[in-house]
Structure 1
Amino acid sequence: MALNFFDQFMSPTLLGLPLMALALMFPWVLLPTLSSRWLNNRLLTLQSWFINRFTSQLLLPINLGGHKWALMFTSLMIFILTLNMMGLLPYTFTPTTQLSLNMGLAVPLWLATVIIGMRNQPTHSLGHLLPEGTPTPLIPVLIIIETISLFIRPLALGVRLTANLTAGHLLIQLIATAAFILLPLMPTVALMTTTLLFLLTLLEIAVAMIQAYVFVLLLSLYLQENV
């Protein structure tokens, strides 16, 4: 039994061994694999249509030089999406509620976009630190502000994903606990609370999907600035 509401975000262990690696590998088991048949089933067809639409929409504003990132962006989006959705199942653990995991995904990918920009077009990449038409007295201040905002980007990526999922899970647990306690005391109020819990679960499913898309979309925008 959980001692407090935040125990659900602790990395689970079995016989003293952390189960984070198992939680990270489990989503790949949920995805259907391609078959050797001429015609795919409905699930594979829907999955292929979703991946094609997402990839084309994601790469629409990116130059041709950034299209080589398509496979990685699509795989990252599906990976984060399955991790987020898996956390809504009973007796499961959501790895994306851990800031360390999200920062481990955000920092290397953000740094890769910055390195690509510095290597391919350093003048254009450094030009983002100083907007055009800036008054001369404000140049040092704006350079400092833009540099800080550049280094805050990976932190914002990781914190955004962690905070949204953590808040949703906490709210679901609070309302579920309230419904469980109110059931013998006020059944009508408990039924209304259960209905609210169902609607909140639907909202959390949408949040899990949207946050995975936003994470990859922001990375693609960072790539667009440096390609």
Structure 2
Amino acid sequence: MILSFFDQFMSPSLMGIPLIFLALTLPWILYPTPSSRWLDNRLLTLQNWAIARFTSQLLMPLNVGGHKWATLLTSLMVFLITLNMLGLLPYTFTPTTQLSLNMAFAVPLWLATVIIGMRNQPTAALGHLLPEGTPTPLIPVLIIIETISLFIRPLALGVRLTANLTAGHLLIQLIATAAFVLLPLMPTVALLTAALLFLLTLLEVAVAMIQAYVFVLLLSLYLQENI
């Protein structure tokens, strides 16, 4: 039986029970819980340092009102990075390759930023739909364009994360398949293909981290516009 390359993106199940719930729960188990001791071990120290640096960098351009989102955005960042990185291991499943999951993250958070803007500063929030100094004949067209761009934001967030991870996984599988096929025929070319596969895997690790960061960074920029 010949399997499709896209079978790796199907949600796995065992005895009819979807295992995506296990995949979503696993990241929270892997991280150590901060202790009340004066001195932490190396893993906790590194974890606290990384989270503190990311949080300070993320909240630097935000007003004080946006600092309430620190816990949510930081937790989302760590969660997405862990899901993306675990999906690169053999015999695993990457939940963030599912557009439905990414949209479930993107739409509520984007909608929350819009609601906050409409509640706190409705004039400024509506002012984003019409740039200052727009000629009168172009006002209806620009309002339509800006409204469409506003509603496209969550779609862009979800599609960007899904497309980047899906493309990387497909490319890794294609090159790995080529290396196995070429090994008995042309061993030298197969070794070069394996080296390329190793470099691509390193690139995909970087992509998994960067895409999680970009997802949260864009959410913080949307929040900055509305506070």
C-alpha separation between the residues in 1 aligned to 2:12 and 2:32?
27
Provide the residue aligned with 2:154 in structure 1: 154
> Percent of aligned positions with the same letter in both sequences?
84
Aligned AA for 1:201?
A: T
C-alpha separation between the residues in 1 aligned to 2:35 and 2:2?
43
Q: Is the 8 A contact 1:2 1:8 kept in 2?
A: no
Extract unaligned runs of 5+ from structure 1. Answer: none
Aligned residues: 227
Provide the residue aligned with 1:35 in structure 2: 35
Provide the residue aligned with 1:213 in structure 2: 213
Provide the residue aligned with 1:116 in structure 2: 116
Provide the residue aligned with 1:143 in structure 2: 143
- The RMSD of aligned alpha carbons is 0.9
Matched, 1:203 2:203: yes
Provide the residue aligned with 2:4 in structure 1: 4
C-alpha separation between the residues in 2 aligned to 1:32 and 1:90?
23
C-alpha separation between the residues in 1 aligned to 2:138 and 2:59?
36
- What's the CA shift string for 1:136-179, capped at 9, x where partnerless? 00000000000000000000000000000000000000000000
Q: Is the 8 A contact 1:129 1:143 kept in 2?
A: yes
- What's the CA shift string for 1:21-79, capped at 9, x where partnerless? 10000111221222343211111111100000000000011111100000000000000
C-alpha separation between the residues in 2 aligned to 1:58 and 1:16?
41
Q: Is the 8 A contact 1:59 1:70 kept in 2?
A: yes
TM value normalised by structure 1: 0.98
Within 5 Å, which residues of 2 pair with 1:1-227?
A: 3-227=3-227
Extract unaligned runs of 5+ from structure 2. Answer: none
TM value normalised by structure 2: 0.98
SS of corresponding position for 2:131: coil
Aligned AA for 1:205?
A: V
C-alpha separation between the residues in 1 aligned to 2:105 and 2:168?
21
